[in-house]
Amino acid sequence: MSSSDTLVATGNRAHSHGPGSPVPLQARSERPTSYDVADFAVPNGREEEWRFTPVKQLKALFEDAAGTETPKVDASGPEGVVFETVAADSLKVGKPQDRAAAVAWNHAGDAFAVRIPVEAELTEPVHVNVASLGARGFSHLIIESGRHSKAIVIIDHSGSGELGSNVEIVVGDGADLRVVSIQQGDHESIHLGQHDALVGRDARLHHVAVTLGGKVVRIGTNVRYAGPGGDAELLGVYFAESGQHHENRLFVDHEAANCKSNVLYKGALAGDHARSVWIGDVLIRAAAEGTDTFELNRNLVLTDGARADSVPNLEIETGEIEGAGHASATGRFDDEQLFYLQARGIPEDAARRLVVSGFFNDIIGKIGVPEVTEHLHEVIEDKLARTAELSESAKAVIGQ
Amino acid sequence: MATLEIRDLHVSVDTENGPKQILRGVDLTIAGGQTHAIMGPNGSGKSTLAYSIAGHPKYNVTSGTVTLDGEDVLDMSVDERARAGLFLAMQYPVEVPGVSVANFLRTAKTAIDGEAPKLRTWVKDVNKALADLDMDADFGTRNVNEGFSGGEKKRHEIVQLELLNPKVAILDETDSGLDIDALRIVSEGVNRFAAQGDKGVLLITHYTRILRYIKPDFVHVFVDGRVAEEGGPELAEELEANGYERFLKAGAK
C-alpha cells in the first residue's frame, strides 16, 4: 500500500514533531491525570493530546456542570452475571486523563457495574446498552471479572446526544475477558470516552473498540497490568464518513514483567472531511522485563477529501524485553487492485466491496464474537453502498 | 469462432509533459484457433497494447477500433470486456490482501458465467487447475498473490485462464522471470487452453525462449508503437539469431 503525505501525517516520527509543534515532547507517563476537573484547563486545540481533535465542537463536554439528561443504560446477560449500581469512586482503576473524562467522572453520578463472579464461565455475551437521547449526558460503567472467570461483554453506545463516558475494567487473575465497545451514535452525536483496564496476573483482556457512527467520537483506551503474565489484545475498527471524526488513543503502560500487548487498529475513510486519528502510546518501564508488545495501525482512504493521522509512540526503559515494535500505514484505495479484479469480470462495485472487506478481513476474524462480526460486515456493506452512490453522483455532476 | 480485430489503434498516456503517443496505428486480427506472438524490444508498446485491449484507465485510445466478434470492445468497461470473453494474463499480477484465492476465483467465475458454479464440480476443477500448474491445493486459502513468488504469480494467472476459459487470451510477458521448469508448466497450461481449437491466443514476449514451448501461427514484430514486420514462426527464428537490431535501425530512420 502506498503512503502519501497529502493524505496522512504518519507517525514513526514521534521523536521529532517538527516545526509548528505547539508543545515540547513529553513522556507519556508524565501527562497529568486527576479526578478534579479544575486540574485541566479547557482545551484550545493546541495541546498535545487535543491537537488532532475538533475541540470547538466539544464545548458542552468540557463544561464543569451537570448533564441535561441521564443516558439510558440497560443491561442483560446470562445467568451468573451480576448488575448493580455502585458509588463512582468504588473502584478507581481509571483516573481521568483529560478534561472531558474528569467532567464525565464528576457528573455521571453512580456507576453501573457488571460483575462476573469468580470462576464463572458465561455461555452468552453480556449486553450493556447506553443510549444518549439528544442532550448532554454522562455515563460511568464498571466491568469487573472475577479470578479465573471467562466472559464477553458488549457495550453498545447509541443515540443522538453528546456523551461523556468512563469505563473501568478489571480483569481478575487468570481471567479471560472480552470487552467490545461499539460506538454507533446518530450522525450528529458526540462521544468522548475513556476506558481504563487493569489486567490481572496471567489474565487475558481482549478489548475491541468499534466506531461506526457519530460526528465526533474519541475513545481513549488505557491498559495497565496488576501482575506478571498479563496479555492484552487491543483491537479497533472504524469507518469515518463525510464530516465524521473518529479518534482512538491507546496507552499501554507496561510496568509488570512478562506481559504482552498486541494492538491492531484498522480504519476506512470515505467522503469529504472524513477524518480519523490514531495515537498508539506504549511505555515499557524499567521493571517490565520480558515485555512483548506490538502495535499496528492501517488506514484505507477510499475517496478524496479524507484524512487519516496515525502516530505510534514507543518509550522503552529496559533492554531486557522479548520484543517491541510498531507499524503504521495509510494508503489510498488501490486502483490497480480494482483493475485486476474487474479484468476477471467482477463488476466495479463488487470489486470495491471485495477489496475493502479484504482490508478488514484479518481484524474482523480476530474479534471472535459472531454477533459483532456479522453486524460489522453489514454496516461496512451499507457504508460502501453509500460511498458508491456518492461517487456515482459525483460522476453525474462531472458529466453534465 | 471468436475473432478479435484491432484496427488502426492509436493510444497515448498522460505524462507530466502532456500526452505521449505510444501506439501509432496497430492492425491485428486474431481469429479463433490461432496463436499470435508479438515480439519487440523494450518500450515498443507491447504491454500498452495488452492493457489497452483490457481497458486499463491509464491508457487513452485516441483513434482506431477493437472489436470482439463484431462487438465494440472500447465501449465496454473493464469487467464487461472480461465477461465478453477477453482475458489478460498480467506481467505484474496485483496483490489483493485479505481476499482468498478461493473466494476470488469463485467470485470471478460467477461474474463471467452469470451464475455461481456448481459447488461439487467447482472444487474439483479448482484443485485440478492448481495441480496442473504445480500449485498446492492450499493456495486456495492464501490471499490473492500476496507473498507469492514471481513464478507462483504467473502460474496463478494461468490457473485463472484455465478456469475462466475466455474466448481470447492475451499473455503479457508471462514468460519473464520464470525458470525453465515454470516456463514449461505455464506453457503447457496455455497449450491446453489453445488445444480447445476455437480459442485465440495473443502471446506478448520479449524473448524467443517461450516459443520453443508454445508454437505461434503468426509472429509480429512490434517497433515504435506499430507492427513493423509480420511472418510465420520462421520470423521468430530470425530474431533468435539476430535480435531486434535490424528493426531498431529501420525505426531510427
- Residue linked to cell 514513526: A12
CA gap A134, A255 in Å, rounded: 41
Short-list A110, A115, A112, A114, CA closest to A87: A110
| Percent of the residues in chain B that have a pLDDT greater than 90, as a whole number | 88
- Helix-strand-coil split of chain A, %, nearest 5: 20, 40, 40
How many residues are recorded in chain A?
400
Short-list B190, B193, B231, B244, CA closest to B212: B190
A13 assigned to some structural domain: no
**Do A345 and B82 lie within an 8 Å CB cutoff?**
yes
Average pLDDT over residues A255-270: 97
Q: Which residue has the higher pLDDT, A386 or A140?
A: A140
User: What are the DSSP calls for A214-272, one per residue?
Assistant: -SEEEEEEEEEESSTT-EEEEEEEEEE-TT-EEEEEEEEEE-STT-EEEEEEEEEE-ST
A201 assigned to some structural domain: yes
A354 assigned to some structural domain: no
Domain range for A202: 29-333
What is the complex's ipTM, to 2 decimals?
Answer: 0.96
A379 assigned to some structural domain: no
Average pLDDT over residues B38-55: 95
| Percent of the residues in chain A that have a pLDDT greater than 90, as a whole number | 85
User: How much is the pLDDT for A388?
Assistant: 78
pLDDT confidence tier of residue B42, bands split at 50, 70 and 90: confident
CA gap B69, B3 in Å, rounded: 5
User: How much is the pLDDT for B121?
Assistant: 94
In chain A, positions 10-69, which contact chain B (CB-CB < 8 Å)? Answer: none
Q: Is the pLDDT of residue A2 over 60?
A: no
Instruction: Suggest the residue from A339, A362, A364, A392 to mutate for an interface test with chain B (most B CBs closer than 10 A).
Output: A339
pLDDT confidence tier of residue A9, bands split at 50, 70 and 90: very low
- A chain contacts of residue B104, beta-carbon cutoff 8 Å: 341, 344, 354
A18 assigned to some structural domain: no
Structural domains of chain B in order of their starting residue, each with its CATH number:
3-251 (3.40.50.300)
Q: What is the pLDDT of residues A60-88, one digit of tens each?
A: 999 999 999 999 999 999 999 999 999 99
Whole-structure pTM value:
0.87
- B chain contacts of residue A357, beta-carbon cutoff 8 Å: 98-99
Three-state secondary-structure class, residue A153: strand
- B chain contacts of residue A348, beta-carbon cutoff 8 Å: 77-79
Q: Is the pLDDT of residue A4 over 60?
A: no
A368 assigned to some structural domain: no
Residues with Cβ within 8 Å of A343's Cβ and at least 6 positions away in sequence, in order, are B54, B55, B78, B79, B81, B82, B87, B88, B90
Q: Which three cell numbers stand for residue B189?
A: 497450461
Average pLDDT over residues A197-217: 98
Number of Cβ within 10 Å of residue A118's Cβ equals 13
Residue B183, CA distances (Å) to A289, A332, B129, B190, B200 in order: 52, 35, 16, 11, 20
Average pLDDT over residues A102-106: 97
Q: Is the pLDDT of residue A262 over 80?
A: yes
**Do A346 and B107 lie within an 8 Å CB cutoff?**
yes
User: How much is the pLDDT for A394?
Assistant: 61
User: How much is the pLDDT for A399?
Assistant: 44
| Percent of the residues in chain A that have a pLDDT greater than 70, as a whole number | 91
Q: Which three cell numbers stand for residue B188?
A: 503447457
Alpha carbon of A131: minimum distance to chain B alpha carbons (Å): 34
Q: What is the 3-state secondary structure (H, E, C) of chain B?
A: CCEEEEEEEEEEEEECCEEEEEEEEEEEEEECCCEEEEECCCCCCHHHHHHHHHCCCCEEEEEEEEEECCEEHHHCCHHHHHHHCEEEECCCCCCEEEEEHHHHHHHHHHHHHCCCCCHHHHHHHHHHHHHHCCCCHHHHHCEECCCCCHHHHHHHHHHHHHHHCCCEEEEECCCCCCCHHHHHHHHHHHHHHHCCCCCEEEEEECCCHHHHCCCCCEEEEEECCEEEEEECHHHHHHHHHHCCHHHHHHHHC
CA gap A204, B203 in Å, rounded: 57
Q: Mean pLDDT score of chain B, rounded to an integer?
A: 95
Residue B92 CA, distance from chain mean position: 11
Alpha carbon of A348: minimum distance to chain B alpha carbons (Å): 7
CA gap A204, A231 in Å, rounded: 5
User: How much is the pLDDT for A24?
Assistant: 46
**Do A343 and B57 lie within an 8 Å CB cutoff?**
no
Is the alpha carbon torsion for B195, B196, B198, B203 positive or negative? Answer: negative
Strands B3-15 and B59-68, sheet pairing: antiparallel
Number of structural domains (chain A) is 1
Three-state secondary-structure class, residue A134: coil
User: How much is the pLDDT for A389?
Assistant: 78
User: How much is the pLDDT for A15?
Assistant: 39
User: How much is the pLDDT for A19?
Assistant: 43
CA gap B23, A71 in Å, rounded: 66
User: How much is the pLDDT for A396?
Assistant: 57
Which among A344, A357, A359 has CB closest to B160?
A344
Instruction: Suggest the residue from A337, A344, A348, A395 to mutate for an interface test with chain B (most B CBs closer than 10 A).
Output: A344
Residues A135 and A79 sit within 8 Å (Cβ to Cβ)? no
In chain A, positions 344-373, which contact chain B (CB-CB < 8 Å)? Answer: 344-348, 350-351, 354-355, 357-362
A391 assigned to some structural domain: no
User: How much is the pLDDT for A386?
Assistant: 86
Q: Which three cell numbers stand for residue A85?
A: 449500581
**Do B108 and A355 lie within an 8 Å CB cutoff?**
no
CA gap A275, A246 in Å, rounded: 6
Average pLDDT over residues B211-231: 95
The residues with which A20 forms a beta bridge, in sequence order, are: none
Q: What is the pLDDT of residues B67-106, one digit of tens each?
A: 999 999 999 999 999 999 999 999 999 999 999 999 999 9
Which among A341, A345, A359 has CB closest to B83?
A345
- Residue linked to cell 522503552: A316
pLDDT confidence tier of residue A1, bands split at 50, 70 and 90: very low
User: How much is the pLDDT for A397?
Assistant: 54
Q: What is the pLDDT of residues A17-67, one digit of tens each?
A: 344 444 445 677 788 999 999 999 999 999 999 999 999 999 999 999 999
- A chain contacts of residue B78, beta-carbon cutoff 8 Å: 339, 342-343, 348
Residue of A nearest to B166 (CA): A344
